[in-house]
Structure 1
């Protein structure tokens, strides 16, 4: 059967497989619990087997669950719900992991719409997300493939995106804008330190995990460069956020284009409108090339305006780097969040969070040996996806409890237990 190889660029158009449909989210999603299911224990499976093995067996043997998988309602260990957004070749849906009850955002790509170029971009997107470990960048948990679709299982940010928030509630206060911008700057600085450029920074790609925590997402146009000063030639991203050199030069530096887009984003956050507009693309292009924008009267402090002016400079070389922008007067006293440590399934756990995550996996029947055996599969392994999800939950619990280490309890049946909430 033809497959899509995320390590290369091969993409063929398969046949068969049912479509996912457009099912609406349910208020109470159906979860296969740890202690039981409507189905009896499959023949040959011990009743005291781990929850992971029991769920895997049920998904393969229970007629109803097999049918739901054929209908595209279930994919791997996830159950899919309603649509969160859509694009030319992909939709984003809400899903629930059936073992952890964790909600995830699923980017669903139709293989039939993936030409060679889009396959290369998908490979680059997955590779970029695999290299990044930062509290302000959307995390990739797992990649699940079916005959007709490819599913990227990603961290879900439930509070919407920046564009929607500003459109509904108006501009951010300068204090809120400073908090948001500081987090985004930290995310971009982390990307650039890994020799990655985003190339599609815009309000629609800034997601709120909570009222004050933001995540930079959608790395579909991201690119790894040989050096941060490497020049690129592909035009991509939203025209309103495009740097002048993308519109006038044969090549551009991706990191400097990212900093320009951050300047546009900051202006939008504090004013509620984009700095450059026009009745046509040609007029928009003229305004960007002339760096022609105007602040509304009484909006934006002098330090804030200074930072925007520094980022929106016609000459790319004159723009500050992400690290330099972080030392500006407006952000003084507001240090950005630190990057996370790259994690390995093979290395012995170093942090308390990793030790806790692995302890919870053992309670599910996933041993250290199993983790090691799935290491080579990377994001294509359901065990790797489970580990990343559990570790992310542990870190989130610690953050929400103020670092006290207090465990948060989940509602619902036997899942309301400390350290066994999965």
Structure 2
């Protein structure tokens, strides 16, 4: 096969690899700290985008908050770097994916497992509240799992640090199904009580496998949330039911507090509070430098290119992608369809793969944008509430063997899962299905070398 392009990109001491997440305003890339060998995630934001959408203050706030709230159950922000055109937020790499994906896969959790995650969530949120930080967008998509299945709260983009002397917040934000009634009413609300309501919805979802409040129209959804019109399934224990009813109290003044949650008999079972290291001194100089003095403070950004072709995924990236050398997810779509980031393998030529993807996408009424070996598909979400977008990128994982990485870029996650299954069914003629789902010998050889 013709020589492929390898692209190594360095930002300061970090070697950037594949894209592991994509949103409207940012990409998240896997990277290696070349000085320590540590895996990190790098959130990349274009300065032009930040300025165009007037997001400078919001991004600065998110970064500052993540530096302030250092806790074992919160994704750690290491540092912030900037080039002349981009901001790089260096974050802890959390390999276990979203709690949301695990819920979709399992349906519901046992009380023991639900309690463990809820205890870790309460510990993290309690720490935030002590620092005067309110998350305001708590939901399973923003709760990640590390390699030991411990919770990591992420995405502080909607968090609030109230101004001095101001007790109530007024911005309506968050995801409707998880938002407290007082937030929807627009009368001003206590950020701590609003977060506790969201924790209650999350606990209900963990135990039930479905939402307490779910309606087709926003008007009826808001009505149910305002009156706290929900019922607990028969399998909830009396103690779990009692706690959820106190968490989902529509009156924020009588709603259970963090301290009361910690004293609750159901919560207390096997509870071991997080061991917190000594308070670290937080330095925000890098944040200020990244945004305020960009012409004077920037890092070297280097790219090295060879011949054009799909990116080559090296053995190390394959190991982190397959999480502990379990390669079945790369080759078995049935195991992998529940994940936000999905993928399939093909032995067709990259040009044929791209051509087939474009043809199928257009037949589904999607707009197609292809550049090199990366394709973005755009449409409107089924509920017409906003855009729906998917990004597909081709990697060479062994000679004549290509992995197509598929990522949701915009829209509802459950809708993306349905789209992925339907899309793959139409691509069946180019998807390689090895016998007994054994990995390609060349791939195994590459990974063992």
- Shorter-chain TM-score bucket reads 0.5 to 0.7
Decide whether aligned partners of structure 1 residues 80 and 380 sit closer, same or farther in structure 2, where only a CA change above 3 A counts: farther
1:246 aligned onto 2:191: no
1:313 aligned onto 2:249: yes
**For residue 21 of structure 2, what is the aligned residue in structure 1?**
85
1:272 aligned onto 2:228: no
Give the Å deviation of 1:148: 2.2
Decide whether aligned partners of structure 1 residues 229 and 260 sit closer, same or farther in structure 2, where only a CA change above 3 A counts: farther
Bigger mean CA offset, 191-200 vs 248-257? 248-257
Cα distance in 1, alignment partners of residues 164 and 114 from structure 2? 31
Helix, strand or coil for the counterpart of 1:186?
helix
Cα distance in 2, alignment partners of residues 231 and 119 from structure 1? 24
Give the Å deviation of 1:316: 0.5
**For residue 327 of structure 1, what is the aligned residue in structure 2?**
263
- Give the one of 55, 59, 62 matched to 1:122: 59
Cα distance in 2, alignment partners of residues 190 and 95 from structure 1? 28
Would you tell me which structure has more strand in proportion to its own residues? Answer: 2
Give the Å deviation of 1:271: 1.0
Give the Å deviation of 1:381: 9.4
1:152 aligned onto 2:80: no
Give the Å deviation of 1:256: 0.7
Give the Å deviation of 1:117: 4.3
- Give the one of 336, 345, 348 matched to 2:273: 336
Cα distance in 1, alignment partners of residues 60 and 81 from structure 2? 14
Bigger mean CA offset, 93-102 vs 189-198? 93-102
**Aligned partners of 1:104 and 1:156 also within 8 Å:** yes
**Aligned partners of 1:143 and 1:380 also within 8 Å:** no
Cα distance in 2, alignment partners of residues 280 and 84 from structure 1? 33
Decide whether aligned partners of structure 1 residues 227 and 276 sit closer, same or farther in structure 2, where only a CA change above 3 A counts: farther
1:209 aligned onto 2:146: yes
Q: Over residues 102-122 of structure 1, what are the superposed CA-to-partner deviations in whole Å (9 max), with x where a residue is unaligned?
A: 111121112222146421111
Decide whether aligned partners of structure 1 residues 101 and 340 sit closer, same or farther in structure 2, where only a CA change above 3 A counts: same
**For residue 293 of structure 1, what is the aligned residue in structure 2?**
230
Bigger mean CA offset, 289-298 vs 184-193? 289-298
Aligned residue runs from structure 1 range 129-278, under 5 A: 129-226=66-163, 230-278=167-215
Give the Å deviation of 1:380: 7.9
Cα distance in 2, alignment partners of residues 232 and 376 from structure 1? 25
**Aligned partners of 2:41 and 2:93 also within 8 Å:** yes
Give the Å deviation of 1:145: 0.9
Helix, strand or coil for the counterpart of 1:114?
helix
Bigger mean CA offset, 220-229 vs 270-279? 220-229
Cα distance in 1, alignment partners of residues 18 and 165 from structure 2? 39
**Aligned partners of 1:179 and 1:212 also within 8 Å:** no
Cα distance in 2, alignment partners of residues 253 and 174 from structure 1? 29
**Aligned partners of 1:142 and 1:381 also within 8 Å:** no
Decide whether aligned partners of structure 1 residues 249 and 111 sit closer, same or farther in structure 2, where only a CA change above 3 A counts: same
- Give RMSD over aligned pairs: 2.4
Aligned residue runs from structure 1 range 48-63, under 5 A: none
Name the count of aligned residue pairs: 284
Helix, strand or coil for the counterpart of 1:291?
coil
Cα distance in 2, alignment partners of residues 290 and 95 from structure 1? 47
Helix, strand or coil for the counterpart of 2:265?
coil
**For residue 3 of structure 1, what is the aligned residue in structure 2?**
none
Q: Over residues 321-363 of structure 1, what are the superposed CA-to-partner deviations in whole Å (9 max), with x where a residue is unaligned?
A: 2122111111124132143322249xxxxxxxxxxxxxxxxxx
Give the Å deviation of 1:138: 0.8
Helix, strand or coil for the counterpart of 2:55?
helix
Cα distance in 2, alignment partners of residues 258 and 220 from structure 1? 14
Give the Å deviation of 1:125: 0.9
Cα distance in 1, alignment partners of residues 109 and 165 from structure 2? 32
Give the Å deviation of 1:215: 0.8
TM-score by length of 2: 0.59
Point out which structure has higher relative CO (alpha carbons under 8 A, 6+ apart).
2
Decide whether aligned partners of structure 1 residues 172 and 211 sit closer, same or farther in structure 2, where only a CA change above 3 A counts: farther
Give the Å deviation of 1:247: 1.2
Gaps of 5+ in 1: 1-29, 31-66, 346-374, 383-422
**Aligned partners of 2:66 and 2:76 also within 8 Å:** yes
**For residue 334 of structure 2, what is the aligned residue in structure 1?**
none
